[in-house]
Structure 1
């Protein structure tokens, strides 16, 4: 496998404080092993300090996303975090559709500040996979994180609130806002491709593991329904699984006829353009 440059736009980084140094060491090992030039780190809700520590300690390597609660926070929280050095937002699990006017002030401010928004798009996984008949990896990922204090409380958020079609409304109203939809909208891939085709600053990442990769490759979407210039790379997995994500995607993209130059657009250059990195094409 040729070592192309990689810009990983989708990394959840939420170690305990005592595990911070070890987690950073593992990310740098991943970077050296796979030629990962830049990494976007996503904090847990309300736990941005650990991500801030990383990108301030290693600004050449890490970019920080905040994880605001659009239903509870005031829009000005965006500016406060921007002034601390955060370059992006992660939006997920909203109580209303992403394009509800209630959220427009957040989007307007992010657009003005030049911040990137990474939206989860598509179905949210659960604790048990009823296709594979096994516990989901989400069970381990949620250990030690915020727990629901009242399990009987009805939840207003669901996958229905996070469809990629809602990004179209946002793109039309905020044309200079740079957005990334995660997982190419799994499983509404065609909708995601169609929107990206016509909205200048809307991109999608290819994170989502083997399922999303298989669907995208077998569906033949790339260069037929969506340009290689509209896709970015993200792992969205545990650190130990990140190298295999890169390897699997590289060989899958080669198998459908993409040249290394096209693959490197997805792996690195498109994200470099989004974030204004100097060597973008």
Structure 2
């Protein structure tokens, strides 16, 4: 099994994120830090700040062994490729990392991604429009897409609702991807969390689209805030009907910390949901590892 959406956090990454928010929303520093403490309890902050990358890697390998996770793909929250590289170095065959670019619309963004992949060994790019304040169809992003397409690495987007302390929902509609999906047909795009509340829009994007994948990560409690009040089984069923099992990717969205640990309950819930749908064992294997292996680990 491959968990294709988990998170690596360090204090340097958190401070970088706060600075980005402060730049976008001057004077919001205290509010951002207060919101952050609501998300991360004191034990979590102590763990993030008080453990080395090796200790974090050792803790991850332990919970991966306990939960039958062969490999995991880690998303950083800021542009710290050296930390992701050093973290992965503790178990290169099991720990894989994404790139994050603080300003994806900048002129040097393609070079930052190229360096991340070629020099730091990263396997994808995470973009977060509602906190990075861009529309995916902005032509300023096209050079970055072109670079990712040439490098053969996917781009994962977070759309929909978010726990981020500051986010602008004007940038959170996944339909923004419609044009890039057409213009960059050899680039694989991934939408995290089934679109986190924008599931209708995600379904619409499946029309004549072959290079878009969905990841299943997180609690998916966004369903409770939609008019339909979808059950997770219904979400999986419709996603598989539209995208097929070949384009659904399992993840838990785990941030490892002492007060929560690995999100075993999410893993078990999703396994039970998929089993209840009655798809074949081969199709189940694709969702829980095969698709991620093809995207990230197949030359």
Distance 2:3 2:173 in 1: 23
Distance 1:229 1:91 in 2: 23
Distance 1:212 1:267 in 2: 22
1:107 Cα deviation from its structure 2 partner = 0.8
- Are the equivalent residues in 2 in contact too, given 1:90–1:117 (CA < 8 A)? yes
Q: Secondary structure at the match of 1:39?
A: strand
- Are the equivalent residues in 2 in contact too, given 1:196–1:230 (CA < 8 A)? no
Residue in structure 2 matching 1:8, options 3, 21, 26: 3
Residue in structure 1 matching 2:117, options 69, 77, 82: 82
* 1:105-254 map, 5 Å: 105-125=143-163, 158-211=168-221, 215-219=231-235, 220-239=237-256, 240-254=261-275
1:171 Cα deviation from its structure 2 partner = 1.2
Count residues with an aligned counterpart: 245
RMSD: 2.3
- Are the equivalent residues in 1 in contact too, given 2:81–2:116 (CA < 8 A)? no
1:258 and 2:279 are equivalent in the alignment: yes
Q: Secondary structure at the match of 1:187?
A: coil
Unaligned ranges ≥5, structure 2: 11-48, 224-229
Shift in CA distance, 230/20, structure 1 to aligned 2, threshold 3 Å: same
Distance 1:183 1:11 in 2: 12
Shift in CA distance, 182/73, structure 1 to aligned 2, threshold 3 Å: farther
Q: Secondary structure at the match of 1:183?
A: helix
What is aligned with 1:141?
A: none
Residue in structure 1 matching 2:133, options 85, 95, 105: 95
Shift in CA distance, 210/241, structure 1 to aligned 2, threshold 3 Å: farther
Distance 1:180 1:258 in 2: 22
What is aligned with 2:227?
A: none
1:18 Cα deviation from its structure 2 partner = 3.4
Distance 2:123 2:291 in 1: 16
- Are the equivalent residues in 1 in contact too, given 2:72–2:96 (CA < 8 A)? yes
- Are the equivalent residues in 2 in contact too, given 1:121–1:163 (CA < 8 A)? yes
- Are the equivalent residues in 2 in contact too, given 1:11–1:237 (CA < 8 A)? yes
Distance 1:123 1:212 in 2: 7
Unaligned ranges ≥5, structure 1: 1-5, 128-154
Distance 2:79 2:114 in 1: 15
1:68 and 2:101 are equivalent in the alignment: yes
